[in-house]
């Protein structure tokens, strides 16, 4: 394994395609192409299943190899910390180089060590639990010198890791290997293990795996008790002393005595096991340094104990005894007694650990989390080194998803490596140091100095090659993952010509912005025009970057980020979103199109100066400052450089070319507000738009809009940066325009719906059984429905109060049938097909990037959107296939005239069948149509139950209405998802996924009051809240009682949802008070929840402001806006505050996570 830095990379190394045979999905591993560490296999023999085939040599590394690995590690470290090629990076590399040239080694900083230890776990191909790699806690023991110091730090490690049963992944790193001395070593294979006492007849009492080490301990002077479960001592050695042993303090070892939930006799077997699985014999190989003593731990997977440790023949071998106790036929393997007994042993281990509240995971959950990690790694790094032999659990192999996943085994640095046993290594190193095993030759330092220039020369050539490609930063912020998916698609397209990097806004280092050449931003808008959680901090920093150029270094009087964001969100941006290449900063800022923007600028500066005046009055003097709009405009040239201008420091992004794609829905008032604001910030920082701001509307085929924008962006970037570009080499999802470029291939096995949806939407989708479907209210065109689903305690559907469930709806069967009758070449709609596409004739056929293997009928029914009006692009395609000239002309008009299209769309809102009926002369092939239809998107609903009260189930409360277009004279329309939900019956199956909504989760334990405000189906998450506290107070009898007040609005008493349940919650003293607002009740004045809040304004102010309570608001966007304005008014009136101060109070509540909103659009979103 040594000398790998000089090993040439395999010339045949190329991307490796891996298949998941369960989902039929493919992934391409490119990460293995970065691996330099040789494997164990040859061109003839595969040694992948050998247990300890890779063991680190005792030879010290050559300094040239140390430096090579150090450079690669430091590059990775500084990339991760967003400082790659920074001054600090270059200085650190120079410091390390000089140190290695002088001494042959160097020291890692603590941050580098922590990063390396975590990355080594991430790279470990045999570990199934790597999804938690970033949580590893590092104890730095590199200053340790004696065995006693090692022992003390190991006790500290064990106590911290045990944590009373809530196991924490931990590593302790002792000093690294050095030339001319023995290694620091922990002789134990695991920190905690049971002794194995070999008897004269060859049998073993205890654990046979440790019989050899038990003998060594006895030879060193330790005396065991001779029992089945005696804990071995720790044996450690240092470079200067003999090995020493230490008994582990009893209080530091947490043991679990095993019992079975059904078989009482099991406890009498007196089987016990320790809780912390800590490997202590492996080496941490990091940055060229070899840490020979680095014990680390995670937590157990139950089958490791139950199946391997207790049941393996070469271990405790308890299976025959246990099988007899269970009354099984142990004489014949055909009785499958081993399988039954092993399963019961696993049940016992899981039950015992959970009863004692000790961290453990079952093998199914572990396999599922590994698949999530595996998916994350392919998305983030382009691969995941994995040893299939070790990853597949020792029980239920093919029942776990990892069994069906092809994997590639390769080795990356940093890593954890097997070592020669410590007692063997001690003897060999003593011989080496005494000269018995010394090799002659030049000193390592001399060899390195001769190679140093070669290393630097190669590095220079490599850097020069990279520099020839333009870097493009693709930055996204996403609430549901759609923007992230688009960002990954852009990466695939741009990587052929550029050097792209995909990064979340949360992870982007804003200080890099001024040095970027090209930035592409994909920004989703969520809720009532709010940024996604992973975009807020980035945007705030971007705003502060702009503001720093306007206050002469003072930050006290900043107009807050949220004030600025909400101002622009509400009032809009006057500056048109046009590309502005070649326009100077002054011209760009002072052009006529930006005057509306400058009007807001005046208001902001006046507000800032008013704060100055208030501060000066408190100091006892008056400020005479006044800024007028005339003053602001009096000099167009000086404005851009004015000390009062927000743009004094325009060079922050003046060399950055950028483009923004905004994602949103016109069902919400502030359409694409976040994306527009990001574009606005980049513009006012002086950035150069390469393309107009483009907004993708979720209700108008967002995918088509993105495809078109992505192709235009690629062409624009190639033109701008003078990169060769082929016209047909656009975005992979670009529209297929001819039947010659798409074909069906018949397949036997369709992809399961759950797998198809999971792969398509990058969610963990489950199929669940409906257990209840109940209408709550119906009055003409409007109705409410309650749906209950059995989650089966599925780990991926474990939810908290306030979370959402995404449902994959089904299109109406008669609608699908009608469309099939209108299309060409649809001979057998129930035939399973795979769709292949190509971009032009002569190209290779590629599988469709989205659609799975399925029947044509199922594709139309479950995967494709046939109810949303066709996009202009699709109408253009229909026009090309129209046989009637009049219809062709009409279709072309709709496809090219946006005003005409919008009028037609608004009046008719036609589904695909209605369009085909309106234009019967259109002839279009089914293959081509399937490629051009948008995907049917899942719908999110608030969960209206508590997982404690409705264990193993979840409830949804759904509202919808049907309507006729053309002022009531058109076709009857109803939401695709809600109409689907209404048709579900008990025992039907439904496909869904869980979405966590941390912003709506319950507060921590305490007594602060809670106000619940909802209208209509907005009662859904509020019901989960009162159910939670009902369970806590009246069933589980835990927690301190809070004052919970409910304000609920509906039209009439008849649709007062869950009225009886709310009354019961009042009787149970869960809800302290309830208030009902009726807006359509006959013979009663129209009342909204806002009116009731104002009536009780004093009490509302007391609960939310004085007692620092929480408010939960759920309803339509207009309702949420109304409640927000009402709360502002209450705070002003009862707190004697100005409007600005009241807004600050609301913002403070949001910052402290006490103001919670769940908002749905005013339009039909269902």
The Cα angle at residue 823 between residues 819 and 826, in degrees rounded to 5: 105
Query: Phi and psi dihedrals of 742, rounded to 5?
Result: -145, 145
Joined tokens for residue 374:
């595996």
Q: Residue 1038 class from Cβ within 10 Å (0-12 exposed, 13-18 middle, 19+ buried)?
A: exposed
The DSSP line for 328-363 is --TT-GGGTHHHHHHHHHHHHHHHHHHHTT--EE-H
* Cβ-contact 979, 924 below 8 angstroms: no
DSSP type of residue 261: S
3-state DSSP call for residue 1006? coil
The distance in angstroms from the start CA to the end CA of the chain is 60
The DSSP line for 120-184 is HHHH-TT-S-GGGGGG-EEEE-TT--SHHHHHHHHHHHHHHHHGGGS---EEEE-PPP-TTSPPP
Q: Any bridge partners for residue 1145, and if so which?
A: none
Largest CA distance in the chain: 106
Joined tokens for residue 76:
């990775």
* Cβ-contact 657, 687 below 8 angstroms: yes
Joined tokens for residue 949:
């009260």
684, HSE (Cβ side, Cα atoms, 13 Å) = 26
The Cα 10–Cα 8 span in angstroms is 6
Catalytic sites, residue numbers:
127, 130, 299, 304
Cis peptide before 414 (omega within 30 of 0): yes
The Cα angle at residue 299 between residues 367 and 1003, in degrees rounded to 5: 90
Question: Between β-strands 499-504 and 471-477, what pairing exists: parallel, antiparallel or unpaired?
Answer: parallel
* Cβ-contact 684, 711 below 8 angstroms: no
The Cα angle at residue 204 between residues 200 and 209, in degrees rounded to 5: 130
3-state DSSP call for residue 205? strand
Q: How far is CA 1087 from CA 1019, 1096, 1112, 1123, 1162, in A?
A: 17, 14, 20, 13, 19
The Cα 972–Cα 909 span in angstroms is 11
* Cβ-contact 851, 865 below 8 angstroms: no
Task: Show the DSSP H helices in 620-701 as ranges.
Answer: 629-633, 636-639, 673-684
* Cβ-contact 490, 632 below 8 angstroms: no
The Cα 576–Cα 698 span in angstroms is 22
Q: Give the count of beta carbons closer than 10 Å to the beta carbon of residue 45.
A: 8
Ramachandran region, residue 24 (left: φ > 0; alpha: ψ -120 to 50; beta: rest): left
The Cα 995–Cα 799 span in angstroms is 8
* Cβ-contact 393, 128 below 8 angstroms: yes
Query: Phi and psi dihedrals of 430, rounded to 5?
Result: -60, -40
The Cα 969–Cα 1041 span in angstroms is 54
Q: How far is CA 649 from the centre of its chain?
A: 35
* Cβ-contact 853, 750 below 8 angstroms: yes
Task: Show the DSSP H helices in 779-844 as ranges.
Answer: 813-822
């Amino acid at each position: 394994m040594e000398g790998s830095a000089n090993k040439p990379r395999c010339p045949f190394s190329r991307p490796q395609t891996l298949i998941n045979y369960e989902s039929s999905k493919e992934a391409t591993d490119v990460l293995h192409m970065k691996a330099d560490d040789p494997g164990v296999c040859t061109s003839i023999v595969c040694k992948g299943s050998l247990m300890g085939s890779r063991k680190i040599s005792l030879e010290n590394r050559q300094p040239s190899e140390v430096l090579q690995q150090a450079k690669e590690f430091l590059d990775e470290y500084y990339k991760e910390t967003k400082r790659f090629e920074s001054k600090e990076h270059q200085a650190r590399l120079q410091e390390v180089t000089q140190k290695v040239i002088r001494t042959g080694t160097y020291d890692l900083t603590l941050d580098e060590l922590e990063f390396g230890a975590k990355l080594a776990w991430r790279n470990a191909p045999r570990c199934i639990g790597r999804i938690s790699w970033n949580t590893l806690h590092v104890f730095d023991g590199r200053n340790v010198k004696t065995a006693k110091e090692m022992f003390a730090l190991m006790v500290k490690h064990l106590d911290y890791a045990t944590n009373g049963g809530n196991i924490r992944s931990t590593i302790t790193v002792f000093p690294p290997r050095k030339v001319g001395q023995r290694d620091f070593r922990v002789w134990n294979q695991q920190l905690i293990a049971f002794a194995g006492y070999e008897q004269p007849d060859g049998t073993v009492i205890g654990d046979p795996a440790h019989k050899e080490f038990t003998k060594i301990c006895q030879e060193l002077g330790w005396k065991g008790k001779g029992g089945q479960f005696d804990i071995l001592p720790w044996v450690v050695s240092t470079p200067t002393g003999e090995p020493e042993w230490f008994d582990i303090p009893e209080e530091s070892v947490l043991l679990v005595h095993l019992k079975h939930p059904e078989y009482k006799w099991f406890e009498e077997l007196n089987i016990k096991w320790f809780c912390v699985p800590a490997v202590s014999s492996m080496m941490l190989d990091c940055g060229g340094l070899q840490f020979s003593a680095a014990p680390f731990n995670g937590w157990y997977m139950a089958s490791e104990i139950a199946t391997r440790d207790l049941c393996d023949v070469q271990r405790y071998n308890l299976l025959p005894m246990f099988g007899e106790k269970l009354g099984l036929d142990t004489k014949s393997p055909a009785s499958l007694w081993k399988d039954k007994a092993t399963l019961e042993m696993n049940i016992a281990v899981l039950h015992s650990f959970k009863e004692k509240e000790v961290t453990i995971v079952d093998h199914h959950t572990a396999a599922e989390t590994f698949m999530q990690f595996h998916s994350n790694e392919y998305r983030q790094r382009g691969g995941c080194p994995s040893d299939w032999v070790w990853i597949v659990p020792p029980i239920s192999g093919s029942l776990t998803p990892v069994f069906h996943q092809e994997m590639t085994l390769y080795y990356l640095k940093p890593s954890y490596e097997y070592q020669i046993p410590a007692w063997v290594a001690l003897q060999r190193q003593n011989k080496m140091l005494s000269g018995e095993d010394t090799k002659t030759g030049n000193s390592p330092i001399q060899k390195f100095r001769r190679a140093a220039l070669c290393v630097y020369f190669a590095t220079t050539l490599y850097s020069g090659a990279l520099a020839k490609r333009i870097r493009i930063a693709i930055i996204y912020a996403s609430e549901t993952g759609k923007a992230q998916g688009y960002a990954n698609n852009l990466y695939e397209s741009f990587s052929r010509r550029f050097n792209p990097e995909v990064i979340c806004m949360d992870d982007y280092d804003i200080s890099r912005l001024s040095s970027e050449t090209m930035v592409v931003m994909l920004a989703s808008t969520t809720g009532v025009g709010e940024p996604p959680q992973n975009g807020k901090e980035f945007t705030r920093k971007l705003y502060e970057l702009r503001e720093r150029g306007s206050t002469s270094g003072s930050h006290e009087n900043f107009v807050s980020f949220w004030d600025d964001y909400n101002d622009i969100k509400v009032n809009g941006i006057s500056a048109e979103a046009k590309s502005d290449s070649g326009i100077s900063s002054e011209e760009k800022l002072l052009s006529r199109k930006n005057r509306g923007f400058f009007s807001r600028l005046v208001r902001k500066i006046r507000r800032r100066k008013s704060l100055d005046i208030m501060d000066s009055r408190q100091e006892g003097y008056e400020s005479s400052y006044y800024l007028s709009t005339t003053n602001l405009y009096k000099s167009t040239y000086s404005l851009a450089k004015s000390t009062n201008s927000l743009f004094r420091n325009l060079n922050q992004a003046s060399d950055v070319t950028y483009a923004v794609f905004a994602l949103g829905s016109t069902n919400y008032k502030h359409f694409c507000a976040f994306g527009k604001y990001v574009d606005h910030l980049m513009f006012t920082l002086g950035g150069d738009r390469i393309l107009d701001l483009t907004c993708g509307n979720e209700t108008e085929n967002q995918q088509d809009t993105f495809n078109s924008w992505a192709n235009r962006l690629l062409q624009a970037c190639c033109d701008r940066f003078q990169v060769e570009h082929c016209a047909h080499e656009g975005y992979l999802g670009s529209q297929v325009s001819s039947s010659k470029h798409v074909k069906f291939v018949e397949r036997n096995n369709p992809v399961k719906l759950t797998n198809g949806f999971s792969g398509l939407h990058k969610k963990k989708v489950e199929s669940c059984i409906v257990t209840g479907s109940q209408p709550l209210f119906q009055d003409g065109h409007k109705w409410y429905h309650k749906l209950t689903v059995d989650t089966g305690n599925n780990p991926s559907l474990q939810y908290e109060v306030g979370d959402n469930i995404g449902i994959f709806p089904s299109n109406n069967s008669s609608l699908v049938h009608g469309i099939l009758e209108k299309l060409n070449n649809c001979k057998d709609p129930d035939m399973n097909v795979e769709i292949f596409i190509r971009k032009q004739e002569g190209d290779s056929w590629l599988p469709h990037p989205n659609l799975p293997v399925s029947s044509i009928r199922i594709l139309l029914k479950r995967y494709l959107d046939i109810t949303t009006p066709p996009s202009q692009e699709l109408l253009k395609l229909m026009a090309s296939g129209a046989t009637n000239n009049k219809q062709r002309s009409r279709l072309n008009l709709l496809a090219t005239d946006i005003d005409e299209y919008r009028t037609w769309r608004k009046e008719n809102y036609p589904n695909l069948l209605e369009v085909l009926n309106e234009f019967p002369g259109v002839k279009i092939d089914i293959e081509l149509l399937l490629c051009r239809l948008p995907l049917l998107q899942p719908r999110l609903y608030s969960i209206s139950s508590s997982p404690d009260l409705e264990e193993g189930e979840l409830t949804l409360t759904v509202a919808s209405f049907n309507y006729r277009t053309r002022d009531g004279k058109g076709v009857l329309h109803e939401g695709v998802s809600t109409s689907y939900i209404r048709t579900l019956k008990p025992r039907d199956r439904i496909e869904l996924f869980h979405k966590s909504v941390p912003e709506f989760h319950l507060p921590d334990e305490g007594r602060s009051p809670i106000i619940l405000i909802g209208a209509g189906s907005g009662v859904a998450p509020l019901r989960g809240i009162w159910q939670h506290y009902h369970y806590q107070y009246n069933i589980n009898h835990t927690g301190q009682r809070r004052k919970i007040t409910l304000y609920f609005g509906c039209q009439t008493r008849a649709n007062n949802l869950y009225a009886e349940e709310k009354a019961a919650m009042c009787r149970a003293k869960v809800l302290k008070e309830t208030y009902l607002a009726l807006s359509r009740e006959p013979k009663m004045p129209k009342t909204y929840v806002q009116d009731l809040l104002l009536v009780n304004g004093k009490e509302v102010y007391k609960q939310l402001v004085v007692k620092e309570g929480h408010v939960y608001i759920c309803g339509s966007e207009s309702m949420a806006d109304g409640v927000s304005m009402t709360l502002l008014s209450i705070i002003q009136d009862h707190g004697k505050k100005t409007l600005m101060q009241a807004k600050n109070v609301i913002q403070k509540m949001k910052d402290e996570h006490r103001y919670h909103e769940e908002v749905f659009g005013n339009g039909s979103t269902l």
